[in-house]
Amino acid sequence: MYLRIGVNSLVPVVIVILVAVYLYRLPGKNSPQKASRRPPNPEDPLPPSNSPLHQFSRAAICSDSDVCSQLAREVLEKGGSAVDGALAALVCNGLIGMQSMGIGGGMVMNVYLHKERQSYSILAREIAPLALRAENLSSFRDEQEFKRSGWSIAVPAELAGYAVAHQRFGRLPWQELVLPTLKLCRRGYPLYKHQYDALVLNQDMIRGDPGLRRMFIDPHSGQFWPLGHLIRPSAQLCTTYDRLAREGPLSFYKGSVADDLLADLRDAGSAIDREDLNRAHAKLSKAVVMPLDEYDLHLTPPPGSGLVLGFIMNILRKFRADFSRARTMGVREIHLMVEAMKFGFVKRWQLDEAANEELLASLTSHEFANSIAKLINDSQTFNRSERYGAASGIQIRDEHGTAHTSVLLGNDAVSVTS
């Protein structure tokens, strides 16, 4: 059982990037029209960033690992699509970044195809097993004990999402997207800091799992392997990647891989059965497109947080001229962003796949966002969640981040959170 971390804490990072592109640059007379623009680089310098600047002429890949980004690059150089590159990076990160994501989880993907002038979303989120009931939770002393039990394992939908993405948007054979990671699994990979930190934070769980203990702990010293040590995943895991490469992603749910998966889940105390695996699915739909002055935001529908991101940017739209005059991120600008996020995240807890149409319409409404912007006090913040529209009994979710991959190829783009 690996550490699973939520999607929502990525939203503030995305907002900061969008603020740099959108709020610090007012539309000019010669701004490109929607029919002709090709998302160019901003004409004006952006505020300073701690991240190194890289410039590319044909494609760009950003993932959690340089190793996986390089594998994705090789896929693109073979003639793969942007989605092929993203899938190669995801499969790779699921191995060497298993503390954050992997084939046992779920994902949300946005795809923009320039040729079609259309964006698409793939929702493949993990689901609860049918056998899980409220009374199952009462038998645990606390939340941590539940999280370490087999009952906390969700039905994975990650590979169902990969299957839909590859079938609709892929060019290369599926096997060519998985084989590079299979080779990496067999030869091993160097332990890097983010994974090492995750091991330390979750060391009780790691030490209590025989497979993870063999993989990450020196049997002589009893300590975690040092940074840079060659981590060798189990032969069983590498065999799973081999079978997925040969049999396809859906073998995880219906083939021989599924049989072994269910056996492992039973050994872990999970109630997931074959019916649950049959329920795991991915949904392909057109993305939600929200106009924002001279830009369009292409957003994932619920249960993704795309509409929350759009709503927050819509609130900040009222202050665009103020941001443009400021030119740099000062205390007031940060305050405005934080207040807008508070109003936005209250709406996040109301969103799921069955969210009502009235709520969805309000989140893309300029009028509603403007009315919320007027509630922001320039010189004061509030600790009461009700001030931001929350119910008095709202329960705060403990979430810590996630893994994200972005690929640009020509004028096509892929953005996926897993």
Helix, strand or coil for residue 285? strand
Give the other-Cβ count within 10 Å of 43's Cβ.
9
Which residues, listed in sequence order, are joined to residue 290 by a DSSP beta bridge? 297
Q: Which two tokens stand for residue 197?
A: 């930190």
Helix, strand or coil for residue 167? helix
Check whether 125 is labelled as a binding-site residue: yes
Find how far residue 242's CA is from the centre of its chain. Answer: 25
What distance in Å separates the CA atoms of residue 59 and residue 77, rounded to the nearest whole number? 10
What distance in Å separates the CA atoms of residue 278 and residue 59, rounded to the nearest whole number? 37
The per-residue b/e assignment along 185-211, b for 16 or more CB within 10 angstroms, e otherwise, is: beeebebbeebbebbeebeebbeebee
For residue 243, CA distances in Å to 102, 129, 237, 320, 392 come to 16, 25, 10, 52, 50
Helix, strand or coil for residue 299? strand
What distance in Å separates the CA atoms of residue 417 and residue 109, rounded to the nearest whole number? 6
Give yes or no for a contact between 346 and 388, defined as CB atoms under 8 angstroms apart: yes
For residue 216, CA distances in Å to 100, 281, 402 come to 16, 32, 21
Helix, strand or coil for residue 295? strand
What distance in Å separates the CA atoms of residue 284 and residue 74, rounded to the nearest whole number? 27
Instruction: Single out the catalytic residue among 300, 402, 405, 417.
Output: 402
Cα Rg of the chain, angstroms:
22
Q: Which two tokens stand for residue 367?
A: 């009028």
Which residues, listed in sequence order, are joined to residue 59 by a DSSP beta bridge? 409
Question: With 0-12 CB in 10 A as exposed, 13-18 as middle and 19+ as buried, what is 317?
Answer: middle
Give the other-Cβ count within 10 Å of 78's Cβ.
13
What distance in Å separates the CA atoms of residue 406 and residue 106, rounded to the nearest whole number? 16
- Strands (DSSP E) along 269-313, which ranges? 283-286, 288-292, 295-299
- Residue 181 falls in the annotated catalytic set: no
What distance in Å separates the CA atoms of residue 19 and residue 83, rounded to the nearest whole number? 26
Binding residues for L-glutamate: 125
Q: Which residues are catalytic?
A: 402
Binding residues: 125
